[in-house]
A and B are shown apart, each in its own frame.
Chain A
C-alpha cells in the first residue's frame, strides 16, 4: 500500500516537474516577450546577408520575370507569392549560418544590422504592408481572412503597440481627455506615496454613452489598507457618468466600442 503511494507520489511529482519545465511561460511573465524581436531580426539577417546577395538577386530577377510573363499580378498582389518564395529563395548552407552566428555573438557592426534590416524590408514589404487588411476595409467578406493572416504573421511587440495606438487619433484622444478632465473631481485626501492608478474598462454605445463600466483592479477596493483606492475609484466612476455621452469619434465604432481609461491622480496631487 505504502509503496504504491510512494510510486504514485513520485510519478505525480515527476509529471508536475516535466509539465512545469515544458511550460516556459510559467517561469517567465508574458512581458518578457521582447527578446523575440531580436530573434526575428536575426533570421531575416541570415537570409539577406551580403554574401548571398547575388543569389538573392537572381531569385528576385526570376520572380520578376515570372511576374512579367504572367502579366496578371499587379503590385497589389497578395503577399502569399512572396511567402512561398522566401524559404526557397534563400537556401542557406549550414556552414554559412555558423559564420553569421559568430558575427552576431561578437555584436559587431550594429550599423550593418540596420542596413540589413532595410534590406529585409524589401523582402518583407509585402508581408508587413498587409493589403489584406486594406482589402478587407473595402470588401468585408475578406475581413475574416485578413484577421487570420494577421494572427499568423509574427508581429513584434513594437508593431503591436503601434496598432493599439492607432485606435484613436491624437485629436480624438485629446478631445476625450479634455472632456474627462473637466468631469473628474480628484479627492484631495489621497496619500501621495501610494499607487493612485484606477483602470476602468468601458463598453460604449455608438453615441458615446456607457453600456457598462468595470473597475479592473476591483480586488483592491476591499483591501483594508486600500480605503483610499475605493474613494479614488468612485471618483473616477462619477467622472465617467458625469461626462457621458463621451466625446468619441463619429466613425469607427468597432475600434472604440471598448475603451480603457487609466485614471492616475499622482500628477495632480504631487503638483
Chain B
C-alpha cells in the first residue's frame, strides 16, 4: 500500500520543463490565399448526357469556373491560372502530386468528379492542403442537373468555411429593384438573382413603383413597398407562388418594412399627420403593435439577430441620427454622434456591428459602427450611395450607387456594389438593368 502511495507521489512531483526558446508571431499577411481549382473530372458518358440535357459542353469544367469566380470575388483567395496546372483533373482527384501543385505556389487545391447517375447530377469534391500534403475535406452532392450552378456555390461555401473559419455566402440570392428608362420616368420592377448575378428573374411587371424589398429569413417571402390606391403600402410576396398581399389595414402610409429574425413579424414605419412611428405586425394573427412613440420621424427599423433590440433612425434630436431600443420600445439610446446625418441602420447577422448610410458635406458614405455607437468606420465614399444590406455571414455589404448626370440630364445610372468589412475589395455586382435597393438572402442550404 505504501508503495502505491509512493508511486502516486512520484508521479505527481512536478518536473521543471526544459526551457525552450519562444518566438511570438503577432503579424502575418492578409494577401489572398493562392488556391488551385482543378477542373472537375467527367467521364465521356456523363459529358454526353449533360450536354443533351443542359446544353453544356463540359459541366466539370464549368462548375470549377463558378467556384473559381466565387473565391476570386471574395477577395480572400487568389485562384491560380489553370494553364499552369501540371496534373490532369482525373488523376489529381485520385491522388494529387503535391510537388506539382507546390511548384505553382498553390497552398490549397480543389479537385472533384462529376457523374450522371439515375438522371441526376452527382458531384464529388475534395479540398487538399498542398503544403501539408493531406486532404482537408471531401463531400459529395446529388441533385437534379438544372441545379448545377448551385452545386458550384455550395462547394465554394464549404471551401470558404474550411479555409477562413466563417460560413460562406455564395449559395444565396439577392432581391433588388430593377430600373429602366430615363431618370424622370423610371420603370421599377422587383427582380431576384443569384449572388453572382446569374439566374435573374423579374417578380413584378413594373406597373407600380416598388421600393425597399427585404428577404424573409425563410427565403420564401419578400416584403417591400409599393403603391396601393396611390398610397405607399407594405406588401408581402411569396416568391414560390407569386401571390402578394397588403400588410395590415393602416389609415396612412406604411414604409421601410423588414422581417424579424424569426420571420414571424414585420417591422415597419407608419406615418400619419406628419408623424412617423415604428410598428410591428404579427404575420400569424395580424396583430399590430406600436413600438416607438415620439413626435418625430422614426423610420428604417432593423432587429438585432437575437430579436431583443431594434435599431432605427430618428430626427428627434433635431438631425437624423441612429438609435437603439429594446424590442418593446423602451430604453431608447442614441448611438451616432458624428458630424452629418445618419440613416438606414442595419444590424449585422453576427450581431456585433450596425451598417449605415451617412451624409456629410454633400457626400454619401457607407459605414459600420459597433452597436453602442463606438468604432465608427466609413468604408466607402461617393456622390450618392445608400441602403446597405449584409451578406449572411456578416462579412460583406451590398448597396447601390448612383452616378451624376450631365447638364442635359444624361449619364444617370444606378448599380449594385459590394464591399467587405475591411473597406477593400469594392466591386460592382453585374445586373441586367440598372439596380437599386438590394437585399441579401440568408444561405439557401445550411
Contact = CB atoms under 8 A, between A and B. Distances in A.
B27 interface: yes
A231 B28 contact: no
Interface string B150-194: 000000000011111110000000000000000000000000000
A168 interface: yes
B67 interface: no
A153 B24 CA distance: 29
A234 B165 CA distance: 11
Contacts of A160: 19
Contact of A177 (B25, B76, B129, B160): B25
Interface in B22-44: 22-31, 33
A156 B279 CA distance: 68
From DSSP, what is the main secondary structure of chain A's interface residues? helix
B12 A26 contact: yes
A160 B18 CA distance: 11
Given A261-B25, A267-B27, A268-B26, A185 B20 contact: no
A245 interface: no
Interface string B404-446: 0000000000000000001000000000000000000000000
B247 to A, nearest CB: 36
Contact of B165 (A167, A187, A239): A187
Most chain B CB within 10 A, of A189, A191, A201, is at A189
A168 B23 contact: yes
Nearest to B9: A19
Contacts of B27: 177, 181, 184, 267-268
Given A189-B395, A231-B163, A260-B21, A241 B132 contact: yes
B23 A176 contact: yes
A25 B29 contact: no
A263 B165 contact: no
A244 to B, nearest CB: 10
Contacts of B24: 177, 262, 264
B332 interface: no
Nearest to A30: B14
Contact of A164 (B21, B160, B163): B21
A51 interface: no
A74 to B, nearest CB: 31
B132 to A, nearest CB: 6
B218 interface: no
A242 B163 contact: no
A262 B25 contact: yes
Nearest to A239: B28
Nearest to A192: B352
Interface stretch (A35-43, A58-66, A115-123, A251-259): A251-259
Interface residues of B, number: 36
A258 to B, nearest CB: 5
B231 interface: no
Nearest to B28: A184
Given A23-B9, A189-B395, A264-B25, A228 B19 contact: no
A96 to B, nearest CB: 35
Contacts of B129: 234, 238
A241 B30 CA distance: 18
Contact of B30 (A26, A164, A236, A268): A268
Nearest to B17: A30
B23 A238 contact: no
B21 A187 contact: no
Interface string A20-57: 00010110001000000000000000000000000000
Given A23-B9, A182-B29, A188-B76, A177 B21 contact: no
A173 interface: yes
B166 to A, nearest CB: 3
Contacts of B25: 177, 180-181, 184, 236, 239, 261-264
A267 B163 contact: no
Contacts of A238: 107, 129, 131-132
A91 interface: no
A264 B26 contact: yes
B64 to A, nearest CB: 22
Given A19-B9, A173-B23, 12 more contacts: A15-B5, A168-B23, A177-B24, A187-B163, A227-B165, A234-B132, A238-B129, A238-B131, A242-B131, A258-B21, A260-B22, A263-B25
Interface of B: 5, 8-9, 12, 14, 19-31, 33, 76, 107, 129, 131-132, 136, 160-166, 352, 393, 395, 422
Ranked nearest first, the 9 interchain pairs of A and B with the lowest CB-CB distance are A189-B166, A184-B28, A189-B164, A167-B21, A231-B165, A228-B165, A186-B28, A241-B131, A189-B165
25 contacts: A30-B14, A177-B25, A177-B27, A180-B25, A180-B28, A184-B28, A188-B164, A190-B166, A192-B352, A201-B20, A227-B165, A232-B165, A234-B132, A235-B28, A237-B131, A242-B107, A255-B21, A259-B23, A260-B21, A260-B22, A262-B24, A263-B28, A264-B25, A265-B28, A268-B27
